[in-house]
Structure 1
Amino acid sequence: MADIQAKLQALSEEFTKLQQDLQETVQSRQKLEAQKQENLGVQEEFEKLKDGETIYKLIGPVLLKQDRTDAESTVKGRLEFIDKEISRLETHIKELQGKMEKKKGEIIQVQTSAQGAGPQAVKA
């Protein structure tokens, strides 16, 4: 019986670890989504600009002039990177959810076998 409880404890700890990993991954995805929205807003502002208007980039406490094409390509590159990271994290989230379901099934199986073994142990 102690063996079953030890196995249940180990499975429970593994399940808790998977839950924590899932929560951290979801938080990372949310941060990336916020960054994506910020960069989309910047991209929209670029579209509103007229030819010849100056773009400044904040570097530390200083505003420096920046070429429009450079600024637009930087934002486009960020958006591509963010989209790839979001896609990667979504895949990871699905994997973690699958592992959690599998672990949950294992826990239920051990609990069921423990309940089945309980009456037999009493009879013996």
Structure 2
Amino acid sequence: MSVAPQLEKEMAAFQNLQKDFSKVIQSRAQLESQLKENEMVAKEFELLKEDATVYKLIGPVLVKQDKPEATVNVKKRIEFISAEIKRLEGQIKDLNQKQEAKKEEVIKLQQTYQQQMAA
């Protein structure tokens, strides 16, 4: 029985895992950036007086917003982004394990294939 088709199939699966892993890493980096941005906004809010005027950008328009409401919105956004990052970290760990397992499978198949070719 030839190992070549199975080897090709496993290599394709491994490459798909690598693509998925890369996408998740990219998403996590984007979320990290959003988290830092929102944390900076939260710190800026702490520096404002209670009666300060806050504006929220909605499309091309700045809309006046109460400081307490804006503060709560930013805190909720930080919580949501943090939860998403945690979820993605779980995915990263899972994909990493799957990649390692698939990599070992591919190596074994390559060795078997090389042995068949030498025989």
Shorter-normalised TM range: over 0.9
Partner of 2:33, secondary structure, is helix
Write out the 4+ residue segments of structure 1 that deviate beyond 4 Å after TM superposition.
Answer: none
Deviation at 1:85, TM superposition (A): 0.4
Structure 1 residues 9-29: Cα deviation after superposition (integer angstroms, max 9, x where no partner): 001000000000000000000
1:8 aligns with 2:7: yes
> Which TM-score applies when normalising by structure 1?
0.90
- Give the structure 2 partner of residue 23 of structure 1: 22
Percent identity for Structure 1 against Structure 2: 47
**Aligned-pair distance for 1:108?**
1.1
Q: For 1:1-124, list aligned pairs within 5 A.
A: 3-119=2-118, 121=119
Between the aligned partners of 1:58 and 1:114, the Cα distance in structure 2 is: 60
Q: Secondary structure at the match of 1:7?
A: helix
Q: Distance in 1 between matches of 2:101 and 2:50?
A: 57
Alignment gaps of 5+ in structure 2: none
The answer (yes or no) to whether the contact 2:50–2:67 under 8 Å persists in 1 is: no
Residue identity in the other structure for 2:39: L
Q: Helix, strand or coil: the match of 1:95?
A: helix
| Structure label with greater radius of gyration | 1
1:9-65, CA deviations, whole angstroms, 9 ceiling, x for partnerless residues? Answer: 001000000000000000000110010011001001001101211111112222221
The gaps in structure 1 that reach 5 residues or longer are: none
What code does the residue aligned with 2:104 have? G
